[in-house]
Amino acid sequence: MQTLADLRQRLLRLDGRGYKSYREIRGEYAADGFTLLIDHVQGDPFAEPSRLRAILPAESAGLPPWSIASTPRRMAAADFLNRALAEAFRATPTPRHGTGRSGELYVLRPGQEILSRTAMHVHPDASVEARFRAGLPARGRTIDGSAAADLLCNAIPAAIRASLRFAALDPDALRRHVETAEDAAALRDQLADHALVAFVADGAILPRRSGVDDRPLPHDRARPFTSPASLRVTLHRPNGGPITGMGIPAGVTLIVGGGYHGKSTLLRALERGVYDHIPGDGREFVVTIPQAVKVRAEDGRAVAGTDVSNFIAALPDGTDTRRFITRNASGSTSQAAAIVEALEVGARCLLLDEDTSATNLLIRDARMQALIEDRDEPITPLIDRIRTLARDHGVSTILVAGGSGDYFDVADTVIAMRAYEPADVTAQARAIAAAHPTARRTEGGSWRPPARRIPLPRSLDPGRGRRAVSIKVWSEDRALYGTEEVDLRAIDQIVEPAQVRAIAAALAWGRGRVLDGRADIARAIHAIMAAIDAHGLDIVQAEPTGDLASFRPFELAAFLNRIRGLETAPS
C-alpha cells in the first residue's frame, strides 16, 4: 500500500495543475496508526467536499473491552468518537484562503441525542472507521498542492490521532457516555413491565436554552424535576443503580396547568424520550416507550387516501373520508390524518400539545353540541375516541390540555404543572367532574379499524433530471426528494438533518424493492426498518458516506406521508 509520504509527493507534483487532476489521488494510504481512504474527489472547488475515510485497526484505536462489549455499547462509543472528531476538526487550523470550499473539514455534528450514524463505526472487531469530508484546496481552478499536502498529510492525521485513539481520550467521559446510553435503554425496557408509557427521573433538567438551542438551561436557572409522591416509581439502571422518578401510566394522561408553567417543556422532553441523551443533557433518564409519536395540526398539508373516518365523517361536499385525499388539509383533518398515520405503523402512545393542535379536533363542548346539530358536524373530537383507543386498542395518550375540563371525564391520570413542579391532581379532577357533570354527549359511535393503503411506487420517484436518485436536505425541516419539496416542520421527533437524509435514502432504496405497489404502508415501512436492522444504515446508500443517522419507522412514514405527490391504492 502507498503511504502518506507518497500522497504528499503526489500532491506536490500536482500543484498548479487543473483541479480535475485531483482525481489521481483516489485510493488508500497507510498512515501512522490508520489507513486513509480517499473515496470520492470533488469535481471542482465549489462542489460538495471530497469524501474520505480513516480506518484504525483495533490495536491502534485501543478501545477497552468494556466499551465494545455489546452492540449498543459500540454504538454509544461511536457516537462519542464522532463528537471527539467533530471537536478535533473544529480545533484544527486549516488553510482557508483558497477558492470555494478549500480547506473545509467536515464530519457530522451530533446534537443532544445518541444515535447510530454512518460517520463513525466501531466494528465488532474493535476497529474504528470514520467518514468525513475535506475541501481539497485550490487557487482559482488549479490545485494548491502544498495546502493539500498540509491538510491531508498533517492536519487530518493529527486530528484523527487526537480524537479516535483511546489513549488520547478522557476514559471516564467515554465510560459515562456508554453507561448512560445503556442505562436509558434499560429504563425504557422496564416501562412495559410497570404498565408505564414514560418515566421522568427526579432531578432531570427539562427546559432548553432556547427554541433553537437544544442544550439544557443552565442549572442556576432551571428547576430540577421532582415527581409527585403518588406517581413516584423506582426503576433500575444496570450501571447507575436504582433511580426514582415520575411514572406516567398507560392510559389517558392529561397535563394541565396555567400558561407558562412548564407543560409544553415536559411534553417535549417526553417526545425526545424515545432517544438516548448524552451525559449532561438533563434528560438522560427521561424515557418514553419507543412507539410514542407526537401528532400536530398542520393545515395545508396533502393527504393521500388516509382513512380519517373515525374522526371526520362525510364532508359537506360529499368527500369520502375513508379514503381522504386533499392537497390542502384543514387543521382538524391534518391532525386526524397524523393520528391515523401514526397508528397505521404501530404507534402505542400519542403525544399532543394543545398549543399545536386543532381545537375542534380536541373538543366540542355541550353548548356547541346544542347549537350545531350532529348531522352538521363531521368531526368526532378526540375526547370521544381517546378512551376506546386506550382500553380497546392499547394506545395511550398524553395530552397537554390547559383549556378543557371536559377531558377530566376521560382521563386516567391528571398531572398539574405549577411553577414547573408536577402535582398529581387526578382525585381532585375526578371530584370536580362528579360535582360539575358535563352536559356534553359522547359522539361518534364505535371505532372502526382504519382502511389500509398501498403506496404507489410511481409517485415516489427520487429521480430528478438525469439523476436516478436526487436527494437534498437543507435542515431537519426541509428536504428535496426527487422533484418534491418535503415540509417536515410538523415532525417534531426528527432531531437531526442526517436523519432526514437517511429517511429519504431509505425511501429511494425501498421503492421497487418493498414499496412495490403490493405492500401496504405498514408492511413496506417495517420491511425497510428490518433491512436496516439486519444490514445497517449503509444498505440504503450506494457509496459509503458519513451523512446518515438512524431513525424510527414513524418518522419514515411521516416523511412518506408528506410527499405531496404521494398516491395510494386501497388495500
Residue 465 C-alpha cell reads as 433530471
Q: Which does 550 bind (CB under 5 to 8 A by kind): ligand ADP, Mg ion, none?
A: none
When binding is defined by CB under 6 A, the residue of 8, 177, 263, 301 that contacts ligand ADP is 263
| 120-122/128-134 β-pairing | antiparallel
Which range binds ligand ADP by CB under 6 A, 126-134, 256-264, 272-280, 543-551?
256-264
DSSP 8-class letter at 441: P
Q: Considering Cα of 475, then 481, then 484, then 486, what sign does the dihedral take?
A: negative
262 binds ligand ADP (CB under 6 A): yes
Contact 376, 368 (CB under 8 A): no
φ/ψ of 198, rounded to 5, equals -160, 160
When binding is defined by CB under 6 A, the residue of 176, 261, 294, 562 that contacts ligand ADP is 261
Q: Which is nearer to ligand ADP, 401 or 498 (CB)?
A: 401
Q: Which does 260 bind (CB under 5 to 8 A by kind): ligand ADP, Mg ion, none?
A: ligand ADP
Q: Which is nearer to ligand ADP, 207 or 247 (CB)?
A: 207
Q: Considering Cα of 433, then 434, then 438, then 442, what sign does the dihedral take?
A: positive
Distance set, CA 429 to CA 259, 414, 439 (Å): 18, 7, 17
Which range binds ligand ADP by CB under 6 A, 82-90, 263-271, 314-322, 506-514?
263-271
Which range binds ligand ADP by CB under 6 A, 254-262, 331-339, 425-433, 459-467?
254-262
Which range binds Mg ion by CB under 5 A, 20-28, 355-363, 429-437, 441-449?
355-363
**CB-CB neighbours of 3 under 10 Å:** 14
Q: Which does 65 bind (CB under 5 to 8 A by kind): ligand ADP, Mg ion, none?
A: none
Binding to ligand ADP (CB under 6 A) within 203-222 occurs at 206-207, 217, 222
When binding is defined by CB under 5 A, the residue of 170, 189, 320, 355 that contacts Mg ion is 355
Distance CA 569, CA 519 (A): 10
Contact 426, 265 (CB under 8 A): no
Distance CA 346, CA 293 (A): 10
Distance CA 343, CA 334 (A): 14
Residue 337 beta carbon to ligand ADP: minimum distance, rounded to whole angstroms: 25
Q: Which does 111 bind (CB under 5 to 8 A by kind): ligand ADP, Mg ion, none?
A: none
Distance CA 454, CA 569 (A): 5
Residue 262 beta carbon to ligand ADP: minimum distance, rounded to whole angstroms: 4
Specify the residue for cell string 417536515: 488
Crossing angle of the two packed helices 71-90 and 171-190, in degrees rounded to 10: 140
Residue 350 beta carbon to Mg ion: minimum distance, rounded to whole angstroms: 17
Q: Which is nearer to ligand ADP, 98 or 282 (CB)?
A: 282
Binding to ligand ADP (CB under 6 A) within 418-457 occurs at 420
DSSP 8-class letter at 537: G
Distance set, CA 245 to CA 143, 229, 272, 449 (Å): 59, 9, 17, 36
Coil, strand or helix at 232: strand
Find, among 251, 232, 234, 253, the residue nearest to 243 by Cα. 234
Rounded to the nearest angstrom, the gap between the alpha carbon of residue 483 and the centroid of all alpha carbons in its chain is 23
Q: Which is nearer to Mg ion, 67 or 265 (CB)?
A: 265
Positions of E strands within 411-466: 413-418, 421-424, 453-455
Contact 20, 5 (CB under 8 A): no
How many residues contact Mg ion, by CB under 5 A?
Answer: 2
Binding mask 235-264 for Mg ion (x = CB under 5 A): -----------------------------x
Which range binds ligand ADP by CB under 6 A, 6-14, 183-191, 255-263, 556-564?
255-263
| 413-418/276-277 β-pairing | unpaired
Q: Which is nearer to Mg ion, 358 or 454 (CB)?
A: 358
When binding is defined by CB under 6 A, the residue of 82, 163, 180, 265 that contacts ligand ADP is 265
Q: Which does 7 bind (CB under 5 to 8 A by kind): ligand ADP, Mg ion, none?
A: none
Residue 296 beta carbon to Mg ion: minimum distance, rounded to whole angstroms: 13
94 binds Mg ion (CB under 5 A): no
Residue 258 beta carbon to ligand ADP: minimum distance, rounded to whole angstroms: 7
294 binds ligand ADP (CB under 6 A): no
Q: Which is nearer to Mg ion, 143 or 256 (CB)?
A: 256
103 binds ligand ADP (CB under 6 A): no
223 binds ligand ADP (CB under 6 A): yes
Residue 264 beta carbon to Mg ion: minimum distance, rounded to whole angstroms: 3
Q: Which does 265 bind (CB under 5 to 8 A by kind): Mg ion, ligand ADP, none?
A: ligand ADP
Helix (H) or strand (E) holding 31: strand 27-31
When binding is defined by CB under 6 A, the residue of 195, 218, 260, 370 that contacts ligand ADP is 260
Q: Which is nearer to Mg ion, 353 or 547 (CB)?
A: 353
Q: Which does 100 bind (CB under 5 to 8 A by kind): Mg ion, ligand ADP, none?
A: none
The alpha-helical segments, DSSP class H, found in 145-190 are 145-150, 156-163, 171-190
Give the DSSP per-residue string, 389-403: HHHHH--EEEEE-SS
Q: Which does 135 bind (CB under 5 to 8 A by kind): ligand ADP, Mg ion, none?
A: none
**CB-CB neighbours of 212 under 10 Å:** 6
Q: Torsion angle, CA of 548/551/555/559, rounded to 10 degrees?
A: 20
Specify the residue for cell string 459509503: 544
Contacts with Mg ion, residue ranges (CB under 5 A): 264, 355
Judged by the rule CB under 6 A, the positions of this chain that interact with ligand ADP are: 206-207, 217, 222-223, 257, 259-265, 417, 420
